[in-house]
Chains A and B, each alone.
Chain A
Amino acid sequence: DAKTTQPNSMESNEEEPVHLPCNHSTISGTDYIHWYRQLPSQGPEYVIHGLTSNVNNRMASLAIAEDRKSSTLILHRATLRDAAVYYCILRAYNQGGKLIFGQGTELSVKP
């Protein structure tokens, strides 16, 4: 299974931008990069995904390196409700499209 590496934890201040990094040096050309987050006592929630180009949606932005070996999830203005574990996941079609979670980054947001 394709692997991702994320910092175990990060801290942010409320209303400031947050950049969550992810390394995926073994990514193949057809792997999509997915980000999910899991709030306490809830199931994982989709955040964003991309293949090669940077992506924006109402929740976040995803910046993908040109060589695709790393990516960064950007929360433009962190709120207290963004405190969660953020998972960067490579989804490979040749593995049945399995979503295999790595260890994730636990984000804490300070008021």
Chain B
Amino acid sequence: DTEVTQTPKHLVMGMTNKKSLKCEQHMGHRAMYWYKQKAKKPPELMFVYSYEKLSINESVPSRFSPECPNSSLLNLHLHALQPEDSALYLCASSQLLETGRTGNTIYFGEGSWLTVV
């Protein structure tokens, strides 16, 4: 099973709402990622988790709050978003990175399409 599952596939939320995006993998991967992708643009890295701990935050605004409750799950909590946050949010996972070993494959989910109104 090389699948990363993201829910929901589509989400529409108001600027005052609180919602969450969920991601799950059962490949035993200990590194998980959130990316954001705007239309016609490449994915942009947001967060990286290693062993359920946040290891990289690419200066993402605090209205995006990641959480990794266990080794299989990754959440992205959304609060007080702006219309410009509307995008495709991609979750990904890989084997844990070790120094000098960056040949690991990263597996991506299908993404969650978020619209902020």
Contacts and interface: CB of A to CB of B under 8 A. Distances in A.
Interface stretch (A12-20, A42-50, A66-74, A76-84): A42-50
A43 B108 contact: yes
Contacts of A25: none
Given A31-B102, A43-B109, A44-B108, A96 B48 contact: yes
A46 B110 contact: no
A90 to B, nearest CB: 9
Which of A42, A49, A51, A97 has the most C-beta atoms of chain B within 10 angstroms of its own C-beta?
A: A97
A87 B102 contact: no
B59 interface: no
A102 B101 CA distance: 21
* Interface SS, A side: loop
Assign chain A's interface to a size class: 20 to 34
Contacts of A91: 102-103
A107 interface: no
A104 B102 contact: no
Interface of A: 30-32, 36, 42-46, 49, 51, 85, 87, 91-93, 96-104
Given A91-B102, A93-B101, 14 more contacts: A36-B106, A43-B108, A43-B110, A44-B43, A44-B92, A46-B107, A93-B99, A97-B104, A98-B45, A98-B48, A98-B56, A99-B92, A100-B45, A101-B44
